[in-house]
Structure 1
Amino acid sequence: MQTPPSSPAQVTFSSDVRHMDNWAKRTGIPLTTAEALGTTYARAHKWLMSLKTQLVQQHGWHDVLPADSRMLFTVEAPSPWRSPSGLPLSPNLKLQLPVHASSFFSPERRVQWQMVFHSDLFATQRLIVQPITDILNLMQCLLTGLVTLVYEEHMPQGVYKTTRGLPSVQWINTNQAALIDVFGPAHYKQLRRLKSTLNHAVANQNLSEVSPPSCLGRGDLSRDERFVVRYKFFHEAHPNLINSPCMISPNS
């Protein structure tokens, strides 16, 4: 029997422009025009298509035919998770991305994209299939705040939600050449600087407050509580270092 791995964080899709604007203010990277977002997304087509090709050639995915002209690609794969009797535990995995970034903000397609990003595909496969991880990380860089990783921690003071809006600095460093090709040197340096501080890439909220929480900084948690939450996020981003000394200390 094969069962999916568990993750402390859930992938969340939100096309609310106000949500993205909160992240723009947090990171200091202005929320640009729809045309500018579309141009950057178009420059990422080649990278996204190469990741799709890796899924097909190395991970057993296949193209869905006939192709939809509105989609950059649509690929599908059988669920790898099986019951003791060998039956699949979930429907086929399906991944699709649009040709135009504006599709993510279309009210008519909101449910469609929620089904993609909230599915088992990103819930579990991002932990074990590198091209899925790369697609999620690239989407976070392209449209920061559109797709986030959310972790809820139950503390004595209440329930805290920690949201990660950017990929790890290790991933940003590893993919430097491709990111510069898509964003340009100046934007890449800003991404690297923001993620290296972590404060700008992670937002903490106390869900037990009476008033609606806003996008808060790491000062809302105690030093030890921040360490617990950030430790979990660090090890999800760096599973190969799970037995290594943690590079994030409670004092950071």
Structure 2
Amino acid sequence: MDENHTLKNIRRIHRDTSLDLVLEYIRNAILDGTFPPGMQLKQSVIAKNLGVSQGPTREALIQLVGEGLVEIQSFHGMFVRRLGQKDIEEIYQLRLALESLAIKTALPTLKAPEQMQKLETLVAATIQAEEGGNYDQAVANDLAFHHFIVDFSGNQRLINFWESLLAQSRYILRQLYQVEREMFHENMAQNHLVILEGIRTQDVPAIQKILQEHMEYAMTRLLRLIQSQNSMPQLAQGQLR
């Protein structure tokens, strides 16, 4: 893949940019598809194009390995990670377990008017973003809805574990939104509204049931997407030169 084409959407940044900003640029390039799955990530080229030293670039790539977005291939370098069937299954199984537990402890607090208003605002913002074709924002709002519930569990270890899945969740949800926009939009919106009603009525079993259906739906669709992609002829992997 041509280097200039690959990096055309990344503006040059100042040389004293912190690690956090370099990390944000690379992470967003992966999440928005500028750096597609399988692309080799050469830290020297990325650093040069961003106008920074290789130090923060190397640290950012290592952190993205920890987030599950980048993988190290021995003797070959770092690549944007391709998430497979086992990855999808594990992510959604863990999210379901964590969010089902979180809702039990968060429920009494979430029913407060100010918390309900925040959740309703997130649902409305997600639908608005989808209708406007802004699927990156729709994914962000979708996950913010779930994050808000998890935060109110008050269980810091649970919150930390859930947040460790956040980057990969955003990565795979974006792929699903791109190919099944209308169907996924209708399912997501309906499920979030049912969750809101369960919070109002303090119905834990109802919320856990819809959470399970919500997660299983997304997981099934993603697995079908992966299978369809695997059945297509493989394109040459992108590479930064």
TM-score, length of structure 1 as denominator length: 0.24
Structure of higher RCO (CA pairs closer than 8 Å, 6+ residues apart): 2
Structure with greater strand share of residues: 1
Structure with greater helix share of residues: 2
TM-score, length of structure 2 as denominator length: 0.25
